[in-house]
A and B are shown apart, each in its own frame.
Chain A
Amino acid sequence: MTHRRWYTPWLLIAPALVWLLVFTVWPSINTVILSFTNARPLGGGHFVGLENFDRALSDDQLGDALLNSVIYMLVCLPLLTVLPLLMALLVQKRLPGITFFRTAFYTPVIASAVVVALIWGWVLDERGLVNGLAQRLDVLSQPLPFLTDRWLLLLSAISLTVWKGLGYYMVIYLSALGNVGRELHEAAAVDGAGSVRRFLHVTLPGVRNTMLLVSVLISVSALRVFSELYILSDGTGGPGGRDMSVVMLIQMYSRGFTGHLGYASALSLLLFVITVGPLLLLLRLDRKAV
């Protein structure tokens, strides 16, 4: 633990520190500064007080985006908290070929959201696989407009997010299951507990903290959604631009002749406020758990 020159550690840390300051700390401060200006992508940048925040209050598109985020979160939370746990239980047992299944289930996670959204855009197309099969099996008489209806488009994006997230949370649960004491399971089995009772009384309490962590991660990522909605709507935000997310609005205002960096920064601050809530909750719960 000794080193002869006092500056050696600083030399090693320097690159990371420079990056931290230039690409995280300064942009964070600058976001706050910009949010009080009328900066545009092509110049400008005068102090305008609370004008951007005023504008946000009466922005219907932002209202829609926030509503979409709430719906996103409410649908994703139960599905992504429960389904990946069941998948983890399924792949936990070391059967022959299980590594293949684990890797395969993880594939949607490593694929780009763009790739996934283009694939699902084709599957959910008016003349695509789902509509084709449903009509053939007489479930539908008319194709459902998955990608052109305000609510169906949102629902399609949500199912895409859920589908892409399954493997990610499965791996987190799989890791947590490794920590659930085998002794406890064995003891319960000796006492004659069936697999259902063992699941309820041994497995579930064992992964309770992980479930909390997972649900916070899900909430935060639901608020940060971008690519799914962007690609499925071809960048338009759906009919009337009502299928936007907050991040989509930020992207929209960050570029081009109609861009407004000041307003985009105000929206970024708003995004920070709504995402930091779940994270603070997690830190509280985490401290209790430790």
Chain B
Amino acid sequence: MARQQPVTRQHPTALQHPVVGDRSEPRGRTDRTGRAAGRVRGFNSTSTAEKVVRYLLLLLVLLLTVGPFLWELSTSLKAPTEDIFTRTPSFLPRKPTLGNYAEAVRAVPVWTYAANSLVVAAITVGGNVVGATLAGFALARLRFGGARLILGIFLATLVLPGEVTIVSQYVTVRSLGLADTLLGVALPGAIGMLNVLLMRTAFRAVPGEMDDAAIVDGANVWQRLIHIGLPNVRGMLSVIVIFAFIGAWDDFLWPLIVLTDPDKYTLTVGIQYLNGTFSANPRVIAAGTMIAFLPIVVVFAALQRFFFRGVEEGAIKG
């Protein structure tokens, strides 16, 4: 059976986040390279001089991209007695202290904010995993009238920047009685259309013969989804989990519009509030910033291998 090209390859706007898919076919890159190395001497080997230059450049870019985060971390650990406004700033805190973190927690209910963010992120992740898996599976694996139309509508929504509908989305959430609630913050993003399309792409890459064999054995739709579909799309699911979590945790504009009660703020809105009330002391704001930032780093560091695995294989095509 001729299989269609996965949608995301034909439709680059689907790359709201650069996401990589499950690839059933190997790219054949390593064995070709292996042979080439013998043929063209020096093409794949790197001279010492080139290595030195490359590492120097890598370190320079590292300083520029990670430096500001370290500077903020350092500021957050500096004691109130240490002058942070001097023209000869020291990059390491002289007497590292966690006092600023305690101060931030005293000033605003940081732990409540963190818990709120976690609730929103959990609903978003759960909703996307379930909703996108079910819909993606149906669109990829089941035949039914209207499938193409629905696929087209899902695709068309990707052209629509979220900010365009944010006002009437707020009106909708309010008329559902969810204004100023965490559920109201989480609900609109709980099934992302992009994620449905990504799951569809992943399910399409599962060999059809496995499905056929299962059907012969009398498996129903649900069994095929659980036993054949899911084990083969774990990579894509992890990517969706990562980005649903990061997207929900980092979002600022939407919770800013939905929430009014300071006790219901998510972390991003909360630390911006902290910034408004504590702008005289950069150490405390730095501490609040780090509390919002570090969980994301941990999540990403733990799951990044799923993300970078497919990148090099050229899973995204421009």
Contacts and interface: CB of A to CB of B under 8 A. Distances in A.
B243 to A, nearest CB: 9
Interface residues of B, number: 112
The main secondary structure of chain B at its interface with chain A is helix
B161 A105 contact: no
A59 interface: no
A26 B308 contact: no
Contacts, number: 319
Q: Which 4 A-B pairs have the closest CB atoms?
A: A210-B318, A178-B314, A112-B250, A16-B135
Contacts of B249: 112
A210 B86 CA distance: 45
A118 interface: yes
Interface of A: 1-4, 6, 8-10, 12-13, 15-17, 19-20, 22-28, 30-31, 34, 39, 87, 90-91, 93, 95, 99, 101-108, 110-115, 118-123, 125, 127-129, 132-133, 135-136, 163, 166-168, 171-172, 174-176, 178-179, 182-183, 185-186, 189-190, 207, 209-214, 216-217, 220, 223-224, 226-227, 230-231, 234-235, 247, 250-251, 253-255, 261, 264-265, 268-269, 271-272, 275-276, 279, 282-283, 286, 290
A118 B289 contact: yes
Interface in B1-42: 10-13, 15, 18, 20, 27, 29, 32-33, 36, 39-40
B187 A3 contact: no
A177 B232 CA distance: 26
B301 A247 contact: no
A214 B250 CA distance: 23
A254 B276 contact: no
B87 A190 contact: no
Nearest to A269: B164
Interface in B142-187: 142-144, 147, 150, 153-154, 157, 159-161, 163-172, 187
Contacts of B33: 182
B293 A265 contact: no
A166 B88 CA distance: 29
B312 A174 contact: yes
Contact of A101 (B62, B208, B268, B312): B62
Nearest to B86: A132
A122 B285 contact: yes
Interface string B57-92: 110011011101101100100000000011111000
Contacts of B168: 26-28, 30-31, 34, 265, 268
Contacts of A120: 68
B164 A268 contact: yes
Contacts of B220: 3-4
Given A210-B318, A268-B167, A9 B142 contact: yes
B62 A103 contact: no
A30 B43 contact: no
Nearest to A264: B167
Nearest to B317: A179
A279 to B, nearest CB: 5
Contact of A15 (B64, B66, B134): B134
B172 A175 contact: no
B289 A275 contact: no
Given A118-B286, A269-B164, 15 more contacts: A3-B220, A12-B138, A16-B132, A24-B160, A39-B171, A104-B62, A112-B296, A114-B252, A125-B282, A132-B87, A178-B312, A217-B13, A230-B252, A234-B276, A279-B159
B199 to A, nearest CB: 10
Interface of B: 10-13, 15, 18, 20, 27, 29, 32-33, 36, 39-40, 43, 46, 51, 54-55, 57-58, 61-62, 64-66, 68-69, 71-72, 75, 85-89, 130-132, 134-135, 137-139, 141-144, 147, 150, 153-154, 157, 159-161, 163-172, 187-188, 190-191, 193, 196, 208, 211, 215, 220-221, 246, 249-253, 256-257, 268, 271-272, 275-276, 279, 282, 285-286, 289, 292-293, 296-297, 300-301, 304, 308, 310-318
Nearest to B169: A27
A94 B88 CA distance: 38
Contacts of A214: 318
Given A110-B297, A113-B250, A114-B272, A12 B135 contact: yes
B277 to A, nearest CB: 11
Contacts of B87: 132-133, 135-136
Question: For B13, B32, B313, which residue has the most chain A Cβ atoms within 10 angstroms?
Answer: B13
Contacts of A275: 161, 164
Contacts of B18: 168, 171-172, 175
B98 to A, nearest CB: 19
Nearest to B72: A119
B94 to A, nearest CB: 17
A224 B13 contact: no
15 contacts: A9-B143, A13-B150, A15-B134, A17-B135, A27-B172, A31-B168, A34-B167, A34-B168, A114-B268, A118-B286, A135-B87, A167-B65, A174-B311, A227-B253, A251-B256
Nearest to B176: A22
B167 A107 contact: no
A3 B165 CA distance: 37
Contacts of B154: 16, 20
Given A113-B252, A226-B253, A23 B163 contact: no
B160 to A, nearest CB: 7
Contacts of A90: 54, 57-58, 61
Contact of A255 (B139, B153, B163, B257): B257
